[in-house]
Amino acid sequence: MLKVEEQQPVEFSSALMAKFDEIVKRYPEGRQKSALLPILHEVQAELGWLSTDAMNKVAAYLDIQDIEVYEVASFYTMYFLKPQGKYTLEVCRTGPCCLVGAEKLMSHIENRLGVKENEVTPDGLFSWRGVECLAACGYGPVLQIGPEYTFYENLDEEKVDKLIEDLRRK
């Protein structure tokens, strides 16, 4: 079952709607469904996550079923179905990174930020989660920080603390 945090109804800005129109123009007539992924990216960039209301509005815009949007949004880990912090720390949790300290690093991040995985810090700055392979097995542990998805490798607790402090100062 799709579990999505809820919020107030969403109104897309005119600038966002213009982006939708521009994206749809890239595809052959009758193939507007092909614009779903890039449109979801734009919605998430503006709102920070994909609420049910936002997904329903995307479905209506593309003239597709709501469930088609839910299926895509819940399949790809790059889409957030609940609010995120301004910065989302994504730590690789697969075998090679775990062998060199990823689990310890995730525990440290949880303690340092004071929130569990997929929660948001009270100041709204941070959330974190473990993710599948980030394709840097020889450089672990690794993490990426969204929304830009800047990549960091060969991490330890001290390096993560510095990253967090640098982000707090931005």
Give the residue numbers of the binding site. 92, 97, 133, 137
- The sign one gets for the Cα dihedral 117, 119, 122, 127 is positive
Burial of 50 (0-12, 13-18, 19+ CB in 10 A): buried
Please give the DSSP secondary-structure letter assigned to residue 117.
Answer: T
Q: 33 and 68 in contact (C-beta within 8 Å)? A: yes
The span from the CA of 168 to the CA of 114, in Å, is 15
Do residues 102 and 93 lie in contact, with contact meaning Cβ atoms separated by under 8 Å?
Answer: yes
Residue 157's identity, in one-letter code, is: E
Gap between the Cα atoms of 97 and 41, Å rounded: 28
Give the residue numbers of the binding site for [2Fe-2S] cluster: 92, 97, 133, 137
